[in-house]
Chains A and B, each alone.
Chain A
Amino acid sequence: MAEASGAQEPSGRGPSGRGPSGRGAAASYTVEIRAGGFTFRPAGDWSVAPILAIDDELRAFTGARPSGEDAIFDMSALIRLDTAGAWLIDRTVASLEAQGVKVSYQGLNEGHKVLLDKVGEGGLPKPTVPERSSLYVEIVGRIGAALVAMWSEALIFVEFLGHVLATVWRSIRHPSRFRLTPLVHHMEKAGFDALPLVCLLTFLIGAVIAQQGATQLRRFGADVFTVNLIAIIFLREVGILLTAIIVAGRSGSAFTAEIGSMKMREEIDAMRTLGLDPMDMLVVPRVLALLFTMPLLTFVGDLMGLLGGGVVAVMQLNMSPAVYIERLRAAADFWTFGVGILKAPFMAIVIALVGCRSGLDVTGSAESVGTQTTRSVVRSIFLVIILDAVFAMFFTAVGL
């Protein structure tokens, strides 16, 4: 075999400024071809920062299938070695051996040997490349998964509704199981405390609708009909929708976060082991509290909306308050108001159920409380609007 004389391959220089004092040297290696094989000589500081510079080069070196039957790793020039450097050497050795090259070490000190053995224990890690399918399959797959998830969520929701109804029925039959104190507490927190916000927002929206309506209707000389616009749109739709959205954002999220953090800290499991039913203790009081307070909040919201509209009517249309009230009477009958208020209990149930259910779905991590709270709010607002549309169709069908 021809004698290939010392072909030196200078190699990468590590970023020398990196690392704390004493770690400044770069990592490098040389490969010396000799009869029957080659000698691999790592030199310098083979620790985690400097080796970054030679990683690609080493991969290319082993990937190029160096010729020869045996390789000697001469470690005497190595100044420093840590697990990352040891991994690089171990990886190189392993892939050379896989190509049928016999590898032996030379000048290996005890500390480095221990480190190389330790790193070798784990074996070559399997590359964990996530499976990627084509875009088409991906799109169809996601739509399918979302539909299946939606269907199973609907089932879970119905099941949960049944569970709550059964619990309520049990409380009616055994009134001693009924928790009055939490009910009142949640009525105060979810209902009474929401009053200022509901009042302010409905007042402002009422005023805005009246103002916009008046501006548009004036073009037709029909600005007196602004009152009809406010009365019908507010009593039938906006009052209840606005209240429901405020309650979903305010109380639905609170329900999820409260129950969710209790779930996270195993308080709910603790309740079960003490023979207490979380349905009785946590869910039913919240559902009933919203069920009772939502119609009241909606009523107050309706009044404030009409008041807001009235203020605009008086100021912008120069209508006297008495005339405004008179025109309101003419524009709206009981069922205009009834259609709105009738939706309140249903929306209350949807918001409370979604809030509580999402809370119970929280798993161990802090992150999941956040995810579930977001989901609870988004889902309950979504359902409230869907429900409103369904009611609109229903009331049209029955002619209200």
Chain B
Amino acid sequence: MMDRQGEIAEEPIIEVRGLLTKFDEHVIHEHLDLSVRRGEVLGIVGGSGTGKSVLLRTILGLKSPDGGSIRVFGKDLEALPEDERREQERRWGVLFQEGALFSALTVAENVQVAYREHLHMGKQLMDELAAVKIAMVGLRSGAADLFPSELSGGMKKRAGLARALALDPEILFLDEPTAGLDPIGAAAFDELITDLAHTLGLTVVMVTHDLDTLHATCDRIAVLAERRVILIGTIDDMLRSEHPWIREYFHGPRARAAFAGK
């Protein structure tokens, strides 16, 4: 957060070393290294099937790694006892691709799940805080009492973001945050993420295909190919790279359109 600048700024908030993941015999990642600095917005790109989402799920502990180590906040999630692991999980928030809202709960109740289950918070404060979060992600206050099935795609993502931010996490993981949104909605979402990352002092890790999002929000980009992170750096580093896939990605017709005039 903003007020903890005194802490060891050099140590990466997420550190992946020599990660190996595989499904049966099919190897997804091998010797994958990645480190995320505190306070940065990192975009992970890569072709379909390079395991971007798998990497995200592995960092989150939803899939256990087959080798290597993952340290978040300087601790290896795999090695932590159950209760410390829960504590750890409360320090990050995740926005899934389709929002993954609980369909039996209203938007406000979705946001309140963590308050209710982890903090046993009183009803009044819970309602107030849910309203704050809902306003923060740019949903109108009437949306609080709607069920997920009554929301549009963009609203679902915003509601999912409000839920991810419920406990004021230090790290926010986003899986394809702008997929399925119209360009105006996507641009607004980019702006929202940049704004929130700044205000709340978040570290953001996102998987995305959206070149506009990469350009508008990310401080650094990690490229996933050949089972590992082949390059990590700024947009300019990407544009300078000679790697064929990176060239194609960042110099293709869509990329030129996205970066034109920026």
Contacts and interface: CB of A to CB of B under 8 A. Distances in A.
Interface of A: 19-20, 22, 47-49, 52, 55-56, 78-84, 87, 91, 109-112, 114-115, 118-119, 121-123, 125-128, 363-368
A118 B192 CA distance: 12
B54 to A, nearest CB: 25
20 contacts: A19-B87, A48-B119, A49-B119, A55-B125, A56-B122, A80-B3, A83-B136, A84-B132, A84-B168, A87-B128, A114-B198, A121-B136, A123-B135, A125-B132, A125-B141, A128-B144, A364-B149, A365-B149, A367-B103, A367-B104
B199 A79 contact: no
Given A84-B168, A111-B201, A122 B131 contact: yes
A112 B4 CA distance: 12
B129 A84 contact: yes
A43 to B, nearest CB: 13
A112 B3 contact: yes
A119 B4 contact: no
Contacts of B257: none
A128 B127 contact: yes
Provide the main secondary structure of the chain B interface.
Answer: helix
Contacts of B135: 121-123, 125
A310 B91 CA distance: 71
Given A84-B168, A91-B128, A365-B103, A128 B145 contact: yes
B148 interface: yes
Interface in B161-215: 165, 167-168, 198-201
B97 interface: no
Nearest to B125: A55
A365 B147 contact: yes
Given A83-B129, A87-B128, 9 more contacts: A20-B91, A22-B4, A52-B119, A56-B122, A80-B3, A82-B1, A115-B200, A122-B136, A127-B124
Contacts of B104: 367
Nearest to B133: A83
Given A49-B119, A55-B122, A112 B2 contact: yes
A122 B121 CA distance: 21
Contacts of A363: 149
B90 interface: yes
A47 B201 CA distance: 14
A365 B3 contact: no
B88 interface: yes
Contacts of A366: 103
A127 B168 contact: no
A122 B132 contact: yes
Given A128-B145, A364-B149, A367-B103, A119 B122 contact: no
Can you list the 6 inter-chain pairs with the closest CB atoms, starting with the nearest? A122-B135, A111-B2, A125-B131, A82-B168, A364-B149, A365-B149
B3 A109 contact: yes
Nearest to A85: B168
Interface-centre pick from A48, A91, A114 (highest chain B CB count, 10 A): A48
A123 B131 CA distance: 9
Interface in B1-41: 1-4, 7
A121 B104 CA distance: 29
B121 A52 contact: yes
Given A79-B3, A80-B4, A118-B199, A20 B127 contact: no
A132 to B, nearest CB: 15
A280 to B, nearest CB: 28
B160 to A, nearest CB: 16
Contacts of A78: 3
A19 B124 CA distance: 22
B213 to A, nearest CB: 21
A204 B240 CA distance: 80
Contacts of B90: 20
Contacts of A52: 119, 121-122, 125
B199 A114 contact: yes
